[in-house]
Structure 1
Amino acid sequence: MTHAQGDEPATGTPPQPPVTEPAPAKPVKIKRTRVSGTWVAIIVALIVLVFLLIFILQNLDSTTVAFLGMEGSMPLAVAMLFSAIAGAVLVALVGGARIFQLRKATRKANKALR
């Protein structure tokens, strides 16, 4: 008996299908939690505080500060830190007033729908 080209010789075992590797498993996507967000915020805040400390330690030259008729002397970096804090408080007050305004408008709109 002759074999055609490409045929397997008869050895008593049937031909095996080619071996295919299984597809790689898709990575599981983990949802972010509030705790992980807080952890990242704490790390960023610590880095900012380290830079702020370096800034203050490098700018300890005393300067005269005058405000509303009052005058005093303090390190330059501390004066700049006070002004930055005052600006942040001002922004927080304006933002808080806007949030209060929006909540009041939302309550009013919800009462009108009932």
Structure 2
Amino acid sequence: MATGVALVLLILLIVFILQNSTKVDVQFLGMSGTIPLGMALFIAAVAGGVVVAIAGVARVTQLRMSARRIRHSTSSP
């Protein structure tokens, strides 16, 4: 079931990228170029997801370290 849903979402994404093929100027950190609008939006979405994932991993790691400190302080006499 999950594979089927992922496949439908992938097809919709491909259609979105193909329908938004107008070239746009993109500038980032002193670099510039042209890229299709759909691809630019896709890259921006993926980059946003990576930033959120990194923040989530950092928070989970912080919580685990805090829980480990609490566990060690309560188990010691």
TM-score of the pair, normalised by structure 1: 0.61
Superimposed CA distance per residue, residues 60-86 of structure 1 (whole angstroms, 9 cap, x where no aligned partner): 111111112210111110011010011
TM-score of the pair, normalised by structure 2: 0.88
Q: Of the two structures, which has the highest relative contact order with CA contacts closer than 8 Å and spacing of 6 or more?
A: 2
Percent of paired sites with the same residue? 44
Letter of the structure 2 residue corresponding to residue 75 of structure 1? P
- Measured in 2, the distance between the counterparts of 1:43 and 1:111 equals 46
Q: Between Structure 1 and Structure 2, which shows a larger proportion of strand residues?
A: 2
Which of the residues 42, 66, 70 maps onto 1:105?
Answer: 66
Match of 1:93 in 2: 54
- Measured in 2, the distance between the counterparts of 1:107 and 1:48 equals 40
1:55-74 to structure 2, matched below 5 A, reads 55-74=16-35
Unaligned residue ranges in structure 2 (runs of 5+):
none
Which of the residues 45, 48, 55 maps onto 1:84?
Answer: 45
* Structure 1: 4+ residue segments shifted above 4 A: none
Structure showing greater radius of gyration is 1
The number of equivalent residue pairs is 75
Give the root-mean-square deviation of aligned CA atoms.
1.2
- Measured in 2, the distance between the counterparts of 1:78 and 1:42 equals 23
Unaligned residue ranges in structure 1 (runs of 5+):
1-39
Q: Between Structure 1 and Structure 2, which shows a larger proportion of helix residues?
A: 2
